[in-house]
Amino acid sequence: MAGAGDRSRKGDIALAPPTVKSPETVPAVEDRTYLAFMVSALVIAVGLGFAFAIVIPLAAVDTIPGASRVPWLTQAHGWAQLQGWAGLFVAGMGIRIIPRFAGRRPIGRSITLPLVTALAGSVIIRSVVQPWARGSWGDEVLVAAGAMGGLGMLGVAAVLAVTLARTRRRGNPWELFAWEGTAWWAVWAIFTAVAPIRAADNFGLTPGVLDDAMTWMVLLGAVGNFVWGVQSRSVPVFFGRKPPKARVIIAPLVLYNSGIVLVMLSLAEWSPATSARLEGAGLALAGLASLVLAPLCGSIWGQAHRLRPRARSASRFVIAGNIAGMTGGVLLLVAGIHTFAEGSIVSFHLRDAARHAFGVGLVTMLILGMAQLIAPVFAMSRAEDRGPSLPERLPFWLLIGAVVLRVGAGIVRETSDMDLLHHTIALAGTMAWLALLLFAIAVAQAIRREPQMKALLAG
């Protein structure tokens, strides 16, 4: 009788043991470059993105020095979070799991390491230089960083597009989301290169309208599509449901991405009222679609009884993240309708609350939860009999507190005392920063224990 190695198909990814001798089989142990993306994302999140979330509100009310640089710090914070934290993490996990979903070989280090270097290097340079640079040298450095980041994003889009074009399993919902997300990565690359050029003519600040539209495009498009897509492939199974069919997904998918397209179209040379109405309609459509996608692709209730007992605690991140995503959807829907009706940019407080409901709630919650559920580095932890320790439980509750405080602060921004409001925002930032620090420590410990896991598997 032929052995397992003889029956393996071209492109299969075998988990060792058993040892598979077929030259057409790619051992999963070779696919480790996602760790470079994960570690880079965590370093930027803890060292820059979430640290800025503490510094900016305190500087804004003169609790600490730096009030004059708050606008520049704010843009640096946004890009550290979007490109450095969410973007790097999504790129790393996407480059790892999309080939698996598609039945293709893993992407080699000769491709992935230059990509992570370009993406991480670009955002570190921008986040460090933009808040403090003055004059032409700062503009030139930021333009170079934008070009570097744009090339990295184009590389990610190209790798994913080639992989998706060669997929062996057509018509799955995750594939539709992945194509949309890949397209937005290509668009993001162009705008990343253009934004610093525009900033050079505006005292080093990307024009507010452009920066706002880019934020929604990245948060909902380049990042959000992959969040929904990966969830649709695995989360329903965790909770004992069948994954949604493509015909069920297509309407909210089109609605969601059409909304993002309208937001970007609002940047064209329209009258102010037309631009505002385009953006408002886009935000409303994306918000409405999010209300459908969260329970359809993910889960907002129930028990993940298909998971090992040790892994079930991580499923709480999934439920909480999707509830936060629905909250952001409601806020976007209301803000978008108000903007469309007024024909001017209004409801800044609701936009701010929605942005953080998606960013800190949906995206960050899902990153922490799904990483613990599917990343190989956590395989040892998922197999253990013991329950999660206190340091392992704390990130969830810290993020819950951060989301509630930060989204709530956005909602009441227009009616609150400014000192109290900004100190509340700083507290939310501190809680999120601590959550990410504890998660980074957990990742470091998991990496350290990985040789032990391999030894146990080999035995």
- Establish how many alpha carbons lie within 13 A of residue 413's alpha carbon, considering only the half-sphere containing its beta carbon: 16
d(Cα 342, Cα 340) in Å, to the nearest integer? 6
Return the residue matching tokens 């007992």. Answer: 309
The structure tokens 């991405």 sit at: 257
> Is residue 21's pLDDT more than 60?
no
Question: Do the Cβ atoms of 120 and 47 come closer than 8 Å?
Answer: no
pLDDT for residue 254 is more than 90: yes
Q: Give the separation between CA 344 and CA 338, rounded to whole angstroms.
A: 9
pLDDT of residue 440 exceeding 50, the answer is yes
Q: Which SS3 state, helix, strand or coil, does residue 27 take?
A: strand
> Bridge-partner residues for 26, per DSSP?
13
Q: What is the Cα–Cα distance from 212 to 347, expressed in whole angstroms?
A: 13
**pLDDT at position 364, please?**
98
- pLDDT tops 50 at residue 27: no
Q: What is the pLDDT of residue 2?
A: 40
Give the SS3 label for residue 135: coil
The C-alpha atoms of residue 231 and residue 212 are separated, in whole angstroms, by 27
Residue count of the chain: 459
**Alpha carbon of 433 to those of 316, 427, 429: distances in Å?**
19, 10, 6
Q: Find the helix packing angle between 109-129 and 88-102, rounded to 10°.
A: 160
Phi and psi at 404, nearest 5°, equal -60, -45
Extended beta strands in 82-228, E state: none
Task: Give residue 53's identity as a one-letter amino acid code.
Answer: A
- For residue 22, what pLDDT is reported? 40
Residue 435 has a pLDDT of 98
300 DSSP assignment:
S
Q: Structure tokens of 175?
A: 């594939």
The lowest-confidence range among 156-165, 253-262, 372-381 is 372-381
Please give the Cα distance from 353 to 336 (Å, whole number): 13
Confidence of residue 381 (pLDDT cuts 50, 70, 90): low
Q: Taking residues 419-424, what's their average pLDDT?
A: 97
Q: Tell me the longest C-alpha to C-alpha distance in the chain.
A: 77
CB of 193 within 8 A of CB of 258?
no
**Token code pair at residue 214:** 């880019």
The ranges assigned to domains in the chain are 1-28, 31-458
Q: What is the pLDDT of residue 382?
A: 64
b/e code 238-262 from CB counts within 10 Å (16+ = b): bbeeebbebeebeebbebbbebbbb
Read off the pLDDT of residues 342-358 as tens digits, 9 standing for 90 and up: 999 999 999 999 999 99
Token code pair at residue 192:
């990343």
Residues paired with 14 in a beta bridge: 27
Confidence of residue 136 (pLDDT cuts 50, 70, 90): confident
Stretch (H or E) spanning 6: helix 4-7
Q: How far is CA 333 from CA 279, 283, 338, 434, 440, in A?
A: 12, 6, 9, 31, 34
Residue 249, pLDDT > 90, answer yes
What's the CATH class of domain 31-458?
A: mainly alpha
- Paired residues of 13 in beta bridges: 26
Q: Is the pLDDT of residue 25 over 60?
A: no
DSSP 221: I
**Amino acid identity for residue 401 in this structure:** G
Of 36, 31, 3, residue with least CA distance to 15: 31
pLDDT band at 303 (very low <50, low <70, confident <90, very high): confident
Q: Is the peptide bond before 395 cis (omega within 30 degrees of 0)?
A: no
**pLDDT, tens digit, 9 for 90 and up, residues 281-296:** 999 999 999 999 999 9
What 3-state class would DSSP assign to 412?
coil
